[in-house]
Amino acid sequence: MKKWALVTGASGGIGLEIARVLAEKGYALVLTARGEDALGRLAQALERERGAHCLTVALDLGAPGGVDALVRFVAEAGVQPNVLVNNAGMGVYGRFADVDPERIQAMVDLNVGALTRLTALLLPAMLKHGGGRILNVASTAAFQPGPGMAVYFASKAYVLSLSEALDVELRPRGVTVTVLCPGATDTGFMSSARAERSALFKGRRLAKARHVAQYGVAAMERGQRVAVHGQLNRIMALGVRFAPRRLAAAMAGWMVREL
């Protein structure tokens, strides 16, 4: 029987590469994001290069009813996902008081709201059909408060916390939850977050989305709970546990600063 994976944010960056890796592993795919053309191009390429069966659905997961429309699409297509990849996410760079409240709201609705609702709506069928795997994309931002990108860091702390707790709850019932925490990665994220001048990205060697995707999918397949990409990132994520929160927040603010 065909194994299905649903990947959100598959039109570019890390999500596109996760879709590629899953296609290489023989999964049929439901690919979603807002960008219809980019989804279509990816589906065609995966069908041509890998013989992968792909369904695409273009929608805004942060908009009211977006997640429900995706769940309806999946049900009407008769698809039962064995793998759910909650990758779609956005960043907003800047001090909280200076950022457009609408952009902050859109980020919370996507990074927190859509990820939570999609998981809640797809989980019952996953449990009924004997299990599955969930891969949530958080960030190294999840490990400490982030002045200069406060809501983004907080949204990823939520994803980390939720994923760890759900893995405890669901593992005995056959569903594993892996949370992938990439560091700065070369994708469209930097420009959509308007973070080009941040020390997080400027002049730094960025990870390749392909490597992050391979690492994340391998961790998901092993059922690893928390997967931090990159050795230095792993050391920092561990080190920050022993630092006073005040110091951790100050250090993150320094790393996010505008150059």
Ligand X SMILES: NC(=O)c1ccc[n+]([C@@H]2O[C@H](COP(=O)([O-])OP(=O)(O)OC[C@H]3O[C@@H](n4cnc5c(N)ncnc54)[C@H](OP(=O)(O)O)[C@@H]3O)[C@@H](O)[C@H]2O)c1
**Catalytic residue positions, numbered:** 152
Helix or strand or coil: residue 188?
coil
Choose which of 90, 122, 157, 256 interacts with ligand X (CB under 6 A): 90
Quote the DSSP letter at residue 258. Answer: B
Task: For the beta carbon of residue 127, count every other beta carbon within 10 angstroms.
Answer: 14
- Cβ 40 to ligand X, closest distance in Å? 11
Angle among Cα 68, 73, 76 to the nearest 5 degrees reads 120
Does residue 233 belong to the site contacting ligand X (CB under 6 A)? no
Choose which of 3, 34, 103, 194 interacts with ligand X (CB under 6 A): 34
Does residue 35 belong to the site contacting ligand X (CB under 6 A)? yes
Does residue 108 belong to the site contacting ligand X (CB under 6 A)? no
- Cβ 62 to ligand X, closest distance in Å? 4
Distance CA 198, CA 121 (A): 36
Cβ closest to ligand X, residue 82 vs residue 111: 111
- Which strand (E) or helix (H) includes residue 255? helix 245-256
Does residue 33 belong to the site contacting ligand X (CB under 6 A)? yes
Q: What is the DSSP string of 201-220?
A: TTTPPPEEHHHHHHHHHHHH
- Cβ 194 to ligand X, closest distance in Å? 12
Does residue 216 belong to the site contacting ligand X (CB under 6 A)? no
Choose which of 6, 122, 137, 157 interacts with ligand X (CB under 6 A): 137
Judge whether 208 and 147 are in contact, CB under 8 Å.
Answer: no
- Cβ 108 to ligand X, closest distance in Å? 12
Q: Please give the structure tokens belonging to residue 172.
A: 């005995």
Does residue 60 belong to the site contacting ligand X (CB under 6 A)? yes
Distance CA 101, CA 96 (A): 9
With the C-alpha atoms ordered 97, 136, 232, 23, is the resulting torsion angle positive or negative? negative
Number of residues that bind ligand X (CB under 6 A): 29
Does residue 14 belong to the site contacting ligand X (CB under 6 A)? yes
- Which strand (E) or helix (H) includes residue 228? strand 226-228
Cβ closest to ligand X, residue 34 vs residue 234: 34
Residues in contact with ligand X by the rule CB under 6 A: 9-15, 33-35, 38, 60-62, 87-91, 110, 137, 139, 182, 184-185, 187-189, 192
